[in-house]
């Protein structure tokens, strides 16, 4: 039949070119290195892992080279398509990635495509799942931009025998959807080591909700102590200590998915500064309480009883009843003049001095809180403006 005749002609060509073919040797000599053109198609990017600093993706690695031993003269067949069973019969470039961690081929699932042209040009494409090392610089985390590299070279052959070069066409990248990163684009370096650069921009919306908003709210809550009585030391300390513990927990939780680093990230800086504001509010609480008890009358500490507080601001002078009789001038009068209750007039100078002193103590206590109500938010706003201007 026509089909069988067509297959027989192709089989005869392949049998002829494989006669005397030795796949152990590269089809070139040292003075003229074999040039292999690379075309890379990124089918999908599955994961960019922060903790392990690695990138996992699905690639089509296409290689084009010439092997004069596989050429033939024919006017009917200029190209023959072969599959994975032909790979073990010819020489194939031993391409490798310098930063490769793991690679999986899919030969059994249609992951190989090969064309042999009559002039000896070979087109070889394979589908591979690769996992490469991607060192990350996390100084600006989570507003960072990460760059990963695909570096191609030969494993066994020196550059005097085999040289890889990237094709002129742009690297094809299928749509990439990652939960934590935007795919920015690719670039190529056609130097001694062909390199494809992949750039990713982190999506920091998740970290705004999980880190920045809680930290800011904890700082705002710590300022509630400025509106409380400075002598209410128990409640004010309870509030500040709770905020400090919450920020410490937030700092530890924000680094769970990241490797252990010896430098400070942008997120760490924000949380540490927020911690500093809460700690300063705690110190302000202690200072306000110290000033409050220092101004108490007669060196007594302020009590929580309102009646007792009120009595401390007044001075009452009492005098016992006195009976006085005047029988000096008139001997005939037997009338007795008694002073049933005499209260010595209050020394107004003493009372005024005492009251004014106590009033100045009250003013000084609330003056400190009022100053902090203005100073703390102002400094925190200045920090936020500087922080976001620098990192954005």
Domain 205-295+369-391, CATH among 3.40.190.10, 1.20.58.390, 3.90.78.10, 3.40.50.720: 1.20.58.390
> pLDDT value at position 361?
43
Q: Which residue has the tokens 């200045």?
A: 382
Q: Tell me how many helices (H) and strands (E) the chain has.
A: 7, 14
**60-81 tens-digit pLDDT:** 999 999 999 999 997 788 999 9
DSSP structure string for 343-379: -PPP-HHHHHHHHHHHHHHHHHHHHHHHHHHHHHHHH
Where does residue 11 rank: exposed (0-12), middle (13-18), buried (19+ CB within 10 A)? exposed
Residue 216: per-residue pLDDT: 96
Q: Reply yes or no on whether the pLDDT at 300 is more than 50.
A: no
Query: What is the average pLDDT across 44-67?
Result: 94
Render pLDDT for 199-258 as a digit per residue (tens, 0 to 9): 999 999 999 999 999 999 999 999 999 999 888 999 999 999 999 999 999 988 888 878
Q: Per-residue pLDDT tens for 147-177?
A: 999 999 999 999 889 999 999 888 889 888 8
- What's the whole-number average pLDDT of the chain? 83
The domain segmentation of the chain, as residue ranges, is 1-202, 205-295+369-391
pTM: 0.75
Please report which confidence band the pLDDT of residue 272 belongs to, taking 50, 70 and 90 as the band edges: very high
Which structure tokens are listed for 379? 């400094």
pLDDT at 344: 47
DSSP character string of 209-226: IIIIHHHHHHHHHHGGGG
* pLDDT-based confidence at residue 330 (cuts at 50, 70, 90): low
In three-state form (DSSP H/G/I as H, E/B as E, the rest C), the secondary structure along 90-149 is: CCCCCEEECCEEEEEECHHHCCEEEEEECCCEEEEEEEEEEEEECCCCCCCCCCCEEEEE
Strand partners, 166: 38
Structure confidence at residue 392 (pLDDT): 86
- 264 φ, ψ to 5°? -90, 130
The CATH number given to 1-202 is 2.70.170.10
Please give the structure tokens belonging to residue 232: 């209410």
Q: Are 337 and 324 in contact (CB under 8 A)?
A: yes
* 14 contacts 83 by C-beta, under 8 angstroms: no
Task: Tell me which of 48-62, 75-89, 131-145, 226-240 is least confident.
Answer: 75-89
| Percentage of residues in the chain having pLDDT higher than 90 | 59
Dump strand ranges (E) for 134-273: 145-154, 162-166, 172-173, 181-189, 195-202
Which two tokens mark 190? Answer: 């056609």
DSSP state of 66: E
């Amino acid at each position: 039949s026509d089909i069988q005749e067509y297959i027989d002609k192709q089989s005869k060509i392949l049998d002829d070119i494989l006669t005397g073919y030795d796949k152990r040797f590269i089809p070139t000599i040292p003075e003229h290195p074999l040039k292999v053109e690379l075309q890379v198609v990124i089918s999908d990017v599955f994961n960019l892992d922060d903790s392990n600093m690695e990138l996992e993706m699905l690639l089509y690695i296409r290689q084009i080279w010439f092997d004069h031993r596989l050429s033939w003269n024919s006017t009917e067949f200029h190209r023959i398509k072969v599959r994975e069973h032909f790979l073990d019969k010819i020489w194939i470039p031993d391409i490798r990635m310098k930063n490769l961690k793991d690679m999986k081929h899919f030969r059994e699932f249609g992951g190989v495509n090969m064309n042999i042209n009559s002039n000896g040009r070979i087109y070889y494409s394979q589908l591979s799942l690769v996992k490469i090392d991607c060192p990350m610089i996390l100084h600006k985390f989570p507003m960072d931009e990460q760059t990963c590299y695909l570096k191609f070279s030969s494993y066994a052959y020196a550059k005097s025998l085999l040289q890889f070069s990237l094709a002129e066409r742009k690297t094809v990248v299928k749509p990439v959807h990652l939960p934590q990163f935007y795919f920015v684009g690719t670039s190529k370096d056609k130097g001694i080591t062909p390199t494809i650069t992949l750039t990713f921009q982190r999506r920091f919306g998740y970290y705004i909700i999980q880190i920045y908003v809680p930290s800011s709210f904890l700082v705002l809550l710590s300022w509630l102590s400025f509106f409380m009585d400075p002598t209410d030391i128990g409640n004010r300390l309870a509030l500040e200590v709770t905020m400090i513990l919450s920020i410490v927990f937030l700092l530890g939780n924000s680094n769970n998915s990241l490797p252990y680093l010896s430098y400070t990230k942008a997120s760490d800086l924000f949380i540490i500064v927020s911690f500093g504001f809460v700690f300063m509010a705690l110190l302000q609480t202690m200072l306000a309480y110290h000033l409050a008890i220092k101004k108490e009358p007669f060196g007594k500490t302020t009590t929580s009883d309102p009646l007792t507080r009120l009595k401390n601001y007044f001075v009452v002078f009492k005098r016992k009843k006195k009976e006085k009789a005047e029988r000096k001038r008139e001997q005939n009068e037997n009338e007795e003049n008694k002073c049933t209750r005499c209260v010595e007039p209050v020394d107004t100078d003493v009372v005024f001095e005492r009251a004014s002193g106590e009033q100045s103590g009250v003013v000084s206590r609330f003056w400190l809180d009022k100053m902090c109500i203005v100073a703390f938010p102002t400094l925190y706003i200045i920090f936020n403006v500087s922080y976001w201007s620098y990192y954005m």
